[in-house]
């Protein structure tokens, strides 16, 4: 109930908070759907991943590519299952999300930017107050990926599918090409997977 009231207040009285990385703009309602039990530090199970996976070779292929960042196979595959699940759930390409994570944090779970952004997808703490719950820890695997995918989906919706502009908004560099180009280059050269459309 408290979150519903907060959402209504945000819609009626939009507040803009500036940060050097991300800027809060009220999220489209459809991007705010999540349950409290799904927001934690536990990786998505193989069964959860398998319900969404359409290609059995994706996990093995991406695991091999991620090896230089995460040497432990169990940790690597747990991470990838969760990325796939959260990206797919938000209607995003998992390889795009991997590219964003590489640019944002270099796959470091506890990364903190000079502006205070946290975790894999470098989420600014103000998002917890505006779309989440005070108990959400932005360093937790699933929390961080859920927030990051929700925020990127919101910006993609806001930009009518224009990924270049959505990435600029995500990074707080709208109108500049450096950040979107880095993401596109990684997607094309490192994380590209059969069937991707760039």
- Please answer whether residues 131 and 148 qualify as being in contact, where contact means their C-beta atoms are separated by less than 8 angstroms: no
- Please answer whether residues 95 and 80 qualify as being in contact, where contact means their C-beta atoms are separated by less than 8 angstroms: no
- Cα separation, 120 vs 101, in Å, equals 6
CATH number of the 2-189 domain: 1.10.530
- Cα separation, 109 vs 105, in Å, equals 8
How confident is the model at residue 70, as a pLDDT?
97
How confident is the model at residue 131, as a pLDDT?
78
Q: Which residues contact 192 (CB under 8 A, 6 or more apart)?
A: 95, 198
What is the model's pTM? 0.81
What are the structural domain ranges in the chain? 2-189
Residues of the chain with pLDDT below 50 are 1-33
H-assigned helices in the chain: 2-12, 46-52, 58-66, 73-89, 94-105, 126-131, 141-158, 163-171, 178-189
How confident is the model at residue 6, as a pLDDT?
42
How confident is the model at residue 7, as a pLDDT?
37
């Amino acid at each position: 109930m408290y979150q519903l009231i907060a959402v209504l207040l945000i819609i009626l009285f939009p507040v803009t908070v500036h940060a050097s990385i991300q800027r809060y703009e009220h999220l489209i309602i459809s991007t705010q759907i999540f349950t409290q039990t799904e927001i934690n530090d536990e990786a998505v199970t193989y069964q959860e991943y398998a319900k969404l996976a359409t290609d059995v070779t994706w996990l093995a292929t991406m695991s091999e590519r991620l090896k230089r960042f995460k040497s432990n196979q169990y940790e690597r595959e747990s991470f990838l299952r969760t990325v796939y699940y959260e990206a797919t759930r938000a209607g995003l390409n998992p390889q795009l999300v991997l590219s964003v994570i590489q640019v944002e944090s270099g796959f470091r779970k506890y990364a903190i930017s000079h502006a205070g952004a946290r975790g894999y997808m470098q989420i600014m703490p103000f998002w917890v107050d505006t779309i989440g719950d005070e108990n959400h820890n932005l360093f937790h695997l699933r929390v961080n990926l859920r927030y990051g995918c929700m925020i990127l989906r919101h910006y993609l919706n806001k930009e009518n599918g224009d990924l270049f502009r959505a990435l600029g908004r995500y990074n707080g560099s709208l109108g500049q090409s450096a950040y979107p180009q880095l993401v596109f280059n990684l997607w094309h050269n490192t994380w590209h997977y059969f069937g991707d459309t760039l």
